[in-house]
Structure 1
Amino acid sequence: MKTRFVLIHTSHAGNVGAAARAMKTMGFDDLVLVAPRWPNVLRREETIQRASGALDVLQQARIVATLDEALDGISHLCATAMTPRDFGPPTRAPRAHFEGLLGRGFGEAGGAGRPATGETGIAFLFGSERFGMANEDVYRCHVALSIPTHPQFGSLNLAAAVQLIAYEWRQALGGFDVPARLPQAECADAAQLAGMLAHWQEALTAVGFLDPAAPKKLMPRLNQLFNRARPTVEEIHILRGVAKAMIQAARPKS
């Protein structure tokens, strides 16, 4: 399914770069600029700096003169508007709209009221930084998406709005898995745990914490503690190193 982000009359070059970066982090790369302030905005230094690694998105981005040119291959138009209009498409929160849209089969053959032939695409339209979207552009859309914000301060930076819409749409499509920080460490087996506890028993005796004549239930309790903790092999090595240092510290100084 085609997903396109359309920036209309963008006036700040940095916002174009930041929008490209926001799109790439969510796996989108179709960016179209409609009559931006700077004809060379895709090559401006501020744009490139703010893109921060999303240069491929900028390289394939298109600049067009009219909104009509930006919407080829698109069947569902989403305006972005903070305040509802008294006329035009319904205003909805992105998450609720996407759930309903995909629930109606958008993107499948014949889904969402389109013919069974032809390509389905969705476009998210963003207006200029100062004035937002023009009414005539909002009126031609199927929905006006409004990001739920604090009622007394709903002003979002353009790139921040792109990031939020891109995130919500990606989540609706299935999202990405959160990568594990590190490979799962191997837990110590029973023999390794028993060897470490024997080493600790020797160390605790050496420092006078454990009385071999009256051990009570110290070692079984430690055994249960480490069973719950499920230490890794590397952690067993650390604990045995601590036990070794305790034994050495307890030896009489010559």
Structure 2
Amino acid sequence: MKTRFILLNTSHAGNVGATARAMKVMGFTDLVLVAPRWANVLRREETIQRASGALDVLANARVVATLDEAIEGLHHLCATAMTLRDFGPPTLEPRPHFAALAAEHGQNANFGVGFLFGSERFGMLNEDVYRCHTCLSIPTDPKFGSLNLAAAAQVLAYDWREALGGLATMMMPTDHASAAVQEPTPLADAQQLAGLLDHWQQSLTDIGFLDPEAPKKLMPRLNQLFNRAQVTQDEIHILRGIAKTMSQVAHDRTPKIKG
């Protein structure tokens, strides 16, 4: 399975370095920063010092402008947010969720999991949380539940590595016999799902089901529905074909004004 740590609008360079260190000690290397406060954050002195030797993680890290770029190729997104959101994904503790996730997709090397961390001051935006499949809640003392960003990343990195079988599994030889097993149907990644939702939003508007001036929570609810369904790439094509047909029918039924 592929694992990516995504930091959204990070404001403290030290947290970037400390997160890189937390990832490296658990065997993870894919780090993406979305619109951090400092454009050169990966090269800042505080970042390098707090990385404490995890310089290869920093060297391979990417800085992107949008969440869409950060989640490309991922299939399951985990938000880290303390405040519950209406119509948001289910809030779960990491360990049982990770165990179920690894049991279901652990043999799929192409399945991508992303852990999203919001800014130190404001956390995650509602619209970013809505795009996730689950919201992880790390059990803490109810009187003091505030975790530093890098500390939260370390906890999740450890729990996720354990769910994947621990560090010892990284040293095991590949079982070539398992390669003969038929590959599962590829799931749609988060970016493909976002494109589907945009398409459906336009089509639902075209047929009059969605009022763009008062959308309420229809699209976040559909987002969660598709997340739970674990839509495949083939199903994305089907659903987008349905959306295209809805818009075409609505267009054909619109009275034409003759000049």
Q: TM (normalized to structure 1)? A: 0.64
Q: How many residues align?
A: 168
> Could you tell me whether the CA contact under 8 Å between 1:13 and 1:47 is conserved in 2?
yes
Matches within 5 A, 1:107-126: 107-108=106-107, 119-126=110-117
User: Which residues of structure 1 form unaligned runs of 5+?
Assistant: 110-117, 178-254
CA distance in 1, matches of 2:143, 2:106: 37
Q: 1:38 aligned to 2:38? A: yes
CA distance in 1, matches of 2:123, 2:101: 24
Change (3 A) 1:133 1:72: same
Percent identity between the two aligned chains: 74
What is aligned with 1:57?
Answer: 57
What is aligned with 1:91?
Answer: 91
What is aligned with 1:82?
Answer: 82
What per-residue deviation string (whole Å, max 9, x for no partner) do you get for residues 78-132 of structure 1?
00112322221000000011112123x21445xxxxxxxx931000000000111
What is aligned with 1:205?
Answer: none
CA distance in 1, matches of 2:91, 2:76: 15
Matches within 5 A, 1:196-235: none
User: What is the deviation of 1:62?
Assistant: 0.1
What is aligned with 2:66?
Answer: 66
User: What is the deviation of 1:138?
Assistant: 0.3
User: Which residues of structure 2 form unaligned runs of 5+?
Assistant: 169-259
Matches within 5 A, 1:14-33: 14-33=14-33
Asked which structure has the greater CA Rg, the reply is 1
What per-residue deviation string (whole Å, max 9, x for no partner) do you get for residues 191-223 of structure 1?
xxxxxxxxxxxxxxxxxxxxxxxxxxxxxxxxx
User: What is the deviation of 1:154?
Assistant: 0.7
SS at match of 1:99: helix
What is aligned with 2:105?
Answer: 106
CA distance in 1, matches of 2:5, 2:91: 19
What is aligned with 1:133?
Answer: 124
CA distance in 2, matches of 1:85, 1:146: 13
> Could you tell me whether the CA contact under 8 Å between 1:83 and 1:146 is conserved in 2?
no
CA distance in 1, matches of 2:83, 2:159: 19
Q: 1:163 aligned to 2:126? A: no
The AA in structure 2 aligned to 1:106 is H
Backbone CA RMSD of aligned residues: 1.2
User: What is the deviation of 1:176?
Assistant: 2.7
Q: 1:4 aligned to 2:42? A: no
